[in-house]
Amino acid sequence: MLLHIVARGRIGRGPEAELVARYEKRITWPLKLTELPDEGGRVPPRDPNGVTVALDERGEQLTSVEFARRLEKWRDAGKRECRFLIGAADGHGEGERQSADLLLAFGSATWPHLLARAMLMEQLFRATSILANHPYHREG
């Protein structure tokens, strides 16, 4: 299953970009990153056999294991793509929220979109590691 991150805003060359690149190299699943301007630009069409996850502070808060199991369920159901939408400073419009299969929150705080991208990349690496029985994730 392709993990497709569709992010508003350009990440540039800062420390967030280095962190995203570090996890991008470690994720073994197919991965695609699409950057859009803060406003406008075309969101790639949704794969009819895919799922859409919008990062939103009002979304579900999943543990890393729950997130991994959700990816596993979609993968095993034959979903071709799981795309993750990261909004700009003002988040997502109501239409994007309603069309998402899952609203996902990294806590109830609002995160800058560049940090949200880095956090998502780490959680994708962690989830794929959990599913591969890799020792990166430790249950406490």
pLDDT tens per residue across span 61-83: 999 999 999 999 999 999 999 99
How far is 132 from 117, CA to CA, in rounded Å?
A: 22
Task: Give the model's pLDDT for residue 95.
Answer: 79
pLDDT of residue 140: 59
DSSP letters spanning 60-77: E---HHHHHHHHHHHHHT
The token duo for 61 is: 């808060």
Q: Which residues contact 49 (CB under 8 A, 6 or more apart)?
A: 78, 79, 80, 81
pLDDT of residue 34: 94
pLDDT digits (tens, 9 = 90+) for 118-140: 999 999 999 999 999 987 776 75
* Dist CA 27 CA 22 (whole Å): 9
Return the structure tokens found at 64: 């890393």
- Mean pLDDT of the chain, nearest integer: 90
Q: Write out the binding residues for S-adenosyl-L-methionine.
A: 55, 87
Other beta carbons within 10 Å of 123 = 19
Percent of the chain exceeding pLDDT 70 equals 96
Model pTM?
0.91
- Position 91 scores a pLDDT of 73
Residue ranges of the binding site: 55, 87
- What does the pLDDT look like over 82-123, one tens digit per residue? 999 998 777 777 878 889 999 999 988 888 888 889 999 999
Q: What DSSP designation does 110 have?
A: -
**Which of these, 109, 100, 87, lies nearest to 7 by C-alpha position?**
87
**What's the pLDDT score for residue 120?**
96
Q: Which CATH class is domain 2-82+115-131?
A: alpha beta
| Sheet with 50-60: strands ordered across | 31-36, 2-8, 81-86, 50-60, 102-104
Res. 50: pLDDT tops 80: yes
**Is a pLDDT exceeding 80 seen at residue 46?**
yes
